[in-house]
Amino acid sequence: MLLLLRALFQPLVRLLALRNLRADRFGALAAVLGVALGTATVNVVLILDVGTRAVEAKSAITNPDLPVFTEQTISLRGVRPDGQPIAAADAQEETHEDYEIMRSAIRLGSLSAFLVGALIVFFTFNVAVERRRREIALLRSAGALPPQVAAVFVLEALLLGVTGAALGLFGSIPLAYLAAKGGITTTGRAYIPLYAIRLPWSAMLLVSATGAFTALLGVLRPVRDALRLDVSRALRPRFLEGGAEQRRRMRGVTLLALPFMVLVYGLLRPFFRESVPLLAFFVLEAGLACAAFLAAIVFVPDVVARLGALAVRLAPRRWAAERLLLQRRVEHSGHELAWSVGGVMMVFALLLALHIATAALKQEVTDWADRALTPYAFLYPDEPLGHAERLLPDVPERLVAARFSSRTPWPNVALAVPADELRALAEATGRAETIALSRRFGPGKAIVSTMMARRFGVGAGDLLEVSGRAGARRLEVVGVSDDIGYVHAAGAYRNLRTYAVIEAADFPLISPYATAIGHTIALADPVTGAAVARGGAETPPWDELLAGVPRVRDVRMQTGVEIAWIRRKATGRDFVIFDMILAFTTVLAAIGVTNQMVLALHARRRELALQRVLGMTAGQVRRMVLMEGALVGVLGGALAVALGVPLGSAALGALRTVSSFEVEFRIPPEYGLLTALGATAVALLASLYPARNVRRSNTAESVQYE
């Protein structure tokens, strides 16, 4: 080790390292970008997460460490019919844990870009060292010591790693500001003002140093193998080698797991301290997913070797020469394509899994909206003390209206409504179960939403104890349902779905904390409800029915369909940060494919030139390169679908376990097709640059050499 450190400062070592970097400009640039974009992605997520925490720390709804002023709202407690109290979940912790899971997933997702960048560095040095076997052999035969030869490549790795880490460190700052300006956060619940952004320099420097160290790890195994080569064998003419060395697989990728797991631990360590119980399961799922990715990458060479040749046969038969040459390349050197295929597979598997999870959450919103929102329209004031009741004279007589009180403040939300009006609203929907539930409702009774029932552990037949400054009373829970009783207000999705409905006669219990009956109005159309009872559509023609209701400044009017659309859009916005991460990772995957093909073509320049001498046209050579890119995309896309679908299913299973959302695994048929087409398109685009540069081979030199 001491000899290696001394060799790093020798002038000849510096000269050879800089010469090698100039000779492999594209590979060096790809390695720098791999480290830079990988570290920048992780650092951007760290900056946004610090900003998100700073903003959310100011509110008790988003910060469980702040006290909730319970005197400003009612107290609720579930009680069994025999009087036994039911332990309830803490509202702050319940909400907080959901978002901590999301933030952990974002941090883990950022490592996908880091891993793809590390693979680019690893492959670059594998190919570079392999190509310079004869140069290494000449240096050894001329008297160079092994530490001196190793120092050349170690110095290259250090230069590339430090340059990429520095670019990633300082490039992440403007990227984070742009992301914050675009409304991207790590929870989707807040907006980060630019002045509130704080840079976690210690964590950013650690990530960047890990990125630079990864570049060094990427060169150690190739250099060790190169120093063990047989000098006499390496200096023999190529036609005497028999191709054995060309078929040798590249090894050492397991070294990449070291910095990757270090970052996993470092990024998740704060969350372990805060909420171990739920995160333990989530981290187990995440660890299994990481292990699956790494295992898949290890097995990709075997898959490419076995399936690549079969895939090549799908090419048009009029390209017989190109097909044959590419098939032979896959059979003899398919491991060289494996790194590109693995990178494409990982990126698009993550992309598919993310869209499966997003689609499931949007479907969960849609399913809830179909029950709680679609049949209704809502009139609600902007002011807490306002009343929407004054607009009732302008509402068409055809519509049924139910007058609700305002909601009591979070976290214990209840609202009151006259039983006869709620019953009329239910009958206007045409839903038999909703009508039956409304007929059981009355004084001394309560209907609770599904999330409220889960928080307090109550069901039909249990009691809900409501207490406050106006006294205490136990109300019988007559049903758990989202189908009726929801009225819209400003607030977070989960909080709005957690409420209890009581009868107007019991309003005095919540009157110190809520505005009187008439604050909010829910509307339903009995004509549409009658159609629903006959199997018709549930959405009333609100544009026509509400056309005559005046729009006033202090009262909002929204239909359930509009609110559902806003909620679905908000759900998609929560996942924009994942799209940003995967956009960086996709760019890295494209760079990796391009880099692999450029390096491979440079290593095969004499072979390609010899093919030109034997009669292949430049167009045929370019077509062969594009076919190779298409093969990488097809195989990577197919493996991405095979890996992304179970990964998406596992993500939804974890989400069901750690949250109260009822998400179901559904995958639209087009998702798999779009994933495969996207992977193929990215790989083809990445192969355009190498295809344009196939003419640079020196034909005369190749004939003389071979």
Q: What is the pLDDT of residues 35-45, one digit of tens each?
A: 999 899 999 99
For the cut 80, the answer to whether the pLDDT of residue 552 exceeds it is: yes
For the cut 70, the answer to whether the pLDDT of residue 679 exceeds it is: yes
Check residue 476 and give its pLDDT. Answer: 95
Query: CB count, 10 Å around CB of 20?
Result: 19
Check residue 461 and give its pLDDT. Answer: 93
Pair (592, 484) in one structural domain = no
Q: Taking each helix axis from N to C terminus, what angle separates 320-372 and 276-312, rounded to the nearest 10 degrees?
A: 150
Q: Last residue of a domain, which of 515, 538, 561?
A: 538
d(CA 326, CA 330): 6
For the cut 50, the answer to whether the pLDDT of residue 249 exceeds it is: no
Q: Tokens at residue 195, please?
A: 């002045």
d(CA 509, CA 513): 9
Nearest 5°: CA angle at 36, between 34 and 38?
65
Residue 100 inside a domain? The answer is: yes
d(CA 141, CA 235): 10
Amino acid sitting at position 226: A
Pair (342, 390) in one structural domain = no
* Mean pLDDT along residues 462-476: 93
* Mean pLDDT along residues 379-405: 88
Residue 472: strand, helix, or coil: strand
For the cut 90, the answer to whether the pLDDT of residue 506 exceeds it is: yes
Residue 566 inside a domain? The answer is: no
* Mean pLDDT along residues 585-595: 82
Pair (523, 417) in one structural domain = yes
Closest CA to 533 of 426, 432, 434, 401: 432
Residue 477: strand, helix, or coil: strand
Average pLDDT, the chain: 80
d(CA 372, CA 447): 13
d(CA 415, CA 521): 12
For the cut 90, the answer to whether the pLDDT of residue 463 exceeds it is: yes
Q: Answer for the pair 100, 189: CB distance below 8 angstroms, yes or no.
A: no
Q: Answer for the pair 479, 452: CB distance below 8 angstroms, yes or no.
A: no
Q: Answer for the pair 347, 116: CB distance below 8 angstroms, yes or no.
A: yes
Check residue 688 and give its pLDDT. Answer: 84
Pair (30, 163) in one structural domain = yes
Closest CA to 408 of 280, 492, 509: 509
Residue 241 has phi, psi (to 5 degrees) of: -80, -25
Which long-range contacts link 392-399 to residues 24+ away (Cβ below 8 Å)? 392/521, 394/548, 394/549, 394/550, 395/521, 395/523, 395/549, 396/545, 396/546, 396/548, 398/525, 398/526, 398/527, 398/545, 399/428, 399/523, 399/524, 399/525, 399/526, 399/545
Check residue 603 and give its pLDDT. Answer: 66
Pair (179, 196) in one structural domain = yes
Higher pLDDT, 211 or 437: 437
Residue 229 inside a domain? The answer is: yes
Q: Last residue of a domain, which of 538, 564, 585?
A: 538
Check residue 703 and give its pLDDT. Answer: 52
Pair (97, 154) in one structural domain = yes
User: Across 40-177, where does the E strand assignment appear?
Assistant: 75-79, 85-86
* Mean pLDDT along residues 631-644: 86
Closest CA to 208 of 29, 35, 28: 35
Helix spans in 132-200 (H): 133-141, 146-181
Give this prediction's pTM: 0.76
* Mean pLDDT along residues 432-455: 93
Q: Give the burial string for 384-406 (b: 16+ CB within 10 Å, else e).
A: eebbbbebbeebeeebbbbbbbb
Check residue 245 and give its pLDDT. Answer: 42
Percentage of residues in the chain with pLDDT exceeding 70? 79
- Give the burial class of 65: count Cβ atoms within 10 A of its Cβ; 0-12 exposed, 13-18 middle, 19 or more buried: exposed
Residue 519 inside a domain? The answer is: yes
For the cut 60, the answer to whether the pLDDT of residue 704 exceeds it is: no
Q: Tokens at residue 592, please?
A: 């990796």
d(CA 350, CA 585): 10
Q: What single DSSP character describes residue 406?
A: P
- Give the burial class of 93: count Cβ atoms within 10 A of its Cβ; 0-12 exposed, 13-18 middle, 19 or more buried: middle
pLDDT tier at 10, thresholds 50, 70, 90: confident
Q: Taking each helix axis from N to C terminus, what angle separates 146-181 and 91-131, rounded to the nearest 10 degrees?
A: 140
Residue 78 inside a domain? The answer is: no
Query: 1 is in which domain, residue-wise?
Result: 1-67+89-237+249-274
Pair (176, 134) in one structural domain = yes
Q: Tokens at residue 291, please?
A: 């292990």
Amino acid sitting at position 114: F
Residue 555 inside a domain? The answer is: no
d(CA 615, CA 611): 6
Q: Give the pLDDT confidence of 523-551 residue by residue, as tens digits.
A: 999 999 888 878 777 788 988 898 888 88
Pair (365, 487) in one structural domain = no
Q: What single DSSP character describes residue 499?
A: -
Nearest 5°: CA angle at 187, between 186 and 190?
100
Residue 187 inside a domain? The answer is: yes
Pair (309, 401) in one structural domain = no
Domain count, the chain: 3
Residue 549 inside a domain? The answer is: no
Pair (145, 197) in one structural domain = yes
Pair (382, 317) in one structural domain = no
Where do we find the tokens 């460490």?
65
Pairing verdict, β 500-503 and 376-381: unpaired
Pair (161, 24) in one structural domain = yes
* Mean pLDDT along residues 26-50: 89
